[in-house]
Structure 1
Amino acid sequence: MTTGSPWFRASEQPGTEPIPQEHGPGPYDRAPYERASYEQGPYEQGPYDYGQQPPQPYPYPSEPGYGNGPAYGQGAPPPAAPAPQEPAYGSIPEPYEAAPEPYRAAPEPYEPTTEAYEAVREPYGATETRELPEVTEGAQEPVEPLPGPGRAERRRAAQQGRGKGRRGAAPQPGAGPGPAGDAGGRPLSRVEARRAARREAKAAKDTIGVVVGELFITLGVVMLLFVAYQLWWTNVLAGQETDQAKAKIEDTWAKGESKPDVFAPGEGFAIMYIPKLDVVVPVAEGISKPKVLDKGMVGHYGEGKLKTAMPSDKQGNFAVAGHRNTHGEPFRYINRLKPGDPIVVETQDAYYTYEMASILPQTAPSNISVIDPVPKGSGFTGPGRYITLTTCTPEFTSTYRMIVWGKLVEERPRSKGKPTALVG
């Protein structure tokens, strides 16, 4: 048995054909005719081309430890392909290109030819068609009847019918058309009846609420209109009435008509001036509200037990009344008068000038002693020629009366002109 030399590979044993060299001698060969090549060895170093290991020198055969290298003087076989290596951690591997698959022709579409397949295929291609019924003008579509009553309702109706047959009882509420039943005569169930009753009660409440709300709104509007009428429109009307009455009085004086001994109720006969309050108001006979006071004029107490003196009288108390609020409100601010403030009364013959003496802020309406010839509470001690102004208090009420007194200080004929109180 012939054993191969340890210096040759299996492919380089005697009797085998040598492997041709594809590369020339490398830079690490010991001689031009020597080139080391290996499949895998421990002497890997330096960069190399893809798929090729750099040649490594092998020691001489005489060096110890050399046992598998090529024979002395023989060239090394070509390098084998390196074993695949795993890429380093964090590196990007080169893209993998798969080998193209061989061209395959697309299969031809399957064309069934059997009768069974054609029989199955026909329904999918067919289109269902329906003819619309003819519609005659004026015709109505048939209405499907409503489902009949349920078992419980039929039982209830039967019980009601038996009761009526035995005792002649009247039909129960909800057994026929009306509020408790539907239009078809079907009786309502207990739940439906309760719901219907709730709806009716709610509708009634809503109706009552709407009516009450409308009443309140109407009442509020009426009250607002009344307040506007009292506080504003009455003053407008009273201003027109007083202007007409003043013009009429002055026209009578200008004509020189004789002065009557007694004036009729509501007839104007004098003009009052309160310079501090910028008041110019006609004075009429009587204290009637519709004829005198509501027309914006001042009324003279001249009737019955309340009759008082006239300005021309040589002794007595000339007492008058007027509104403090609304209807011209000529005496609204008489509480601002101070002792010594003038109050002038003009008549057909003369000017009578009074000076304010005292005030009584509040007294009962029944206290008529304030208009006596010598008024009580005024501070006057004896007979004289006085003036008394009365009005309601507090404002916008008629609970009490406010009294202002004055004393005559000058009587001046009209022929001599206006007094100092009016000229100044």
Structure 2
Amino acid sequence: MRVVVQRGGRRGRRAGLAGVLWGAAELTVTVGVVVLLLVVHQVWWTNRQALAGAQEEVRELERRWTGPSGPSAPSGPSGPSAPSGPSGPASGGSDSAGAASGAGADRVPSVSGSRAPAPAKESAYGVLRIPRLGVVVPVAEGVDKRAVLDKGYAGHYLGTAQPGARGNFALAGHRNTHGEPFRYINRLRAGDELIVDVRGQRYTYVVGRTLAETGERDTGVIAPVPRSTVRPEYGYDEPGAYITLTTCTPEYTSKYRLVVWGTLKT
């Protein structure tokens, strides 16, 4: 009697290996699609969402300012003093991480200034215009990541000067994602204008100096007389009315800070 031997063991092992490889390929594709969607959401959708919201906030501020209870329009190169007012400069990068970003950057000491009341924390009260870059963005009180910066606003460091006042009107903004209002401030040059409107008053600052890279805890860049504590050859020596823009650098990171300074035009 002849016995027939089945030789399916090797084929079975091959089929099993093929199934494992196919499953791994499917998992890899699925993970890739999920990651791609997250990147699209973070880089594209948050920009559209924040930009649209910021633009609507600018329109709302301007409607309030031109309404029956407000002045007719911003006027003049400068106006009366506003209240003046650091932990390190807040992050404006893709993730706004670090002790100097978001809520941590709100903890800044106050300095002497006008007796006028400060704006409500985390509320938009002004508009920053950067003609060279085509930027028009709301200014809100504080630099909390979620409540201010992620809305596409420029955040005012608590405790620093208000627009038009002596001292340093210091702002933070995202460089990437969430409207990225400060993405191209590295392109600003000496002589470019930075215009701040606050309920019927217009304050025009002129860019004077830039600092391409400093540490996230460089508190000197937003001091009343701004001067880097990391790179002390950058900054100013005399009291005056300054503006400071801070954001992250390099792009899509929060490792360092990029700084632009200007002085009030008189």
2:119, 2:15 → 1: CA distance? 66
Amino acid at match of 2:155: G
2:164, 2:57 → 1: CA distance? 21
Any idea what SS the aligned residue of 1:208 has? Answer: helix
Q: Does 1:380 align with 2:231?
A: no
Any idea what SS the aligned residue of 1:389 has? Answer: strand
Any idea what SS the aligned residue of 2:42 has? Answer: helix
| 1:279-312 C-alpha deviation (Å, 9 max, x unpaired) | 111111111222211111111111xxxx311114
1:256, 1:383 → 2: CA distance? 36
How much has 1:255 moved relative to structure 2? 4.6
Q: Does 1:197 align with 2:9?
A: yes
Q: Does 1:399 align with 2:212?
A: no
Amino acid at match of 1:244: E
Any idea what SS the aligned residue of 1:276 has? Answer: coil
2:261, 2:152 → 1: CA distance? 21
1:228 aligned residue = 40
2:206, 2:155 → 1: CA distance? 20
2:219 aligned residue = 368
Any idea what SS the aligned residue of 2:171 has? Answer: strand
The residue correspondences of 1:40-119 to structure 2 (distance < 5 A) are: none
2:57, 2:261 → 1: CA distance? 26
Amino acid at match of 2:58: K
Number of residues paired by the alignment?
A: 217
- State the identity %: 46
Q: Which has the higher strand share?
A: 2
Amino acid at match of 2:180: E
Q: Does 1:301 align with 2:153?
A: no
Amino acid at match of 1:224: L
Instruction: Work out whether residues 126 and 139 of structure 2, in 8 Å CA contact, stay in contact via their aligned partners in 1.
Output: yes
1:338 aligned residue = 189
The residue correspondences of 1:209-228 to structure 2 (distance < 5 A) are: 209-228=21-40
Q: CA RMSD in A?
A: 2.3
2:11, 2:118 → 1: CA distance? 75
**Unmatched 5+ stretches in structure 2:** 72-81, 83-115, 229-233
| 1:53-79 C-alpha deviation (Å, 9 max, x unpaired) | xxxxxxxxxxxxxxxxxxxxxxxxxxx
Structure showing greater radius of gyration is 1
The residue correspondences of 1:283-322 to structure 2 (distance < 5 A) are: 283-302=139-158, 307-313=159-165, 315-322=166-173
Higher relative contact order (CA 8 A, sep 6+): 2
Among residues 264, 271, 295, which one is paired with 2:127 in the alignment?
A: 271
1:157 aligned residue = none
How much has 1:323 moved relative to structure 2? 1.2
How much has 1:230 moved relative to structure 2? 2.8
Amino acid at match of 2:163: P
Any idea what SS the aligned residue of 1:383 has? Answer: coil
| 1:359-384 C-alpha deviation (Å, 9 max, x unpaired) | 00001111121111111144311211
Amino acid at match of 2:185: I
2:208 aligned residue = 357
Any idea what SS the aligned residue of 1:205 has? Answer: helix
How much has 1:149 moved relative to structure 2? 6.9
CA shift in 2, pair 1:242/1:280, >3 Å: same
- TM-score norm. by structure 2 comes to 0.75
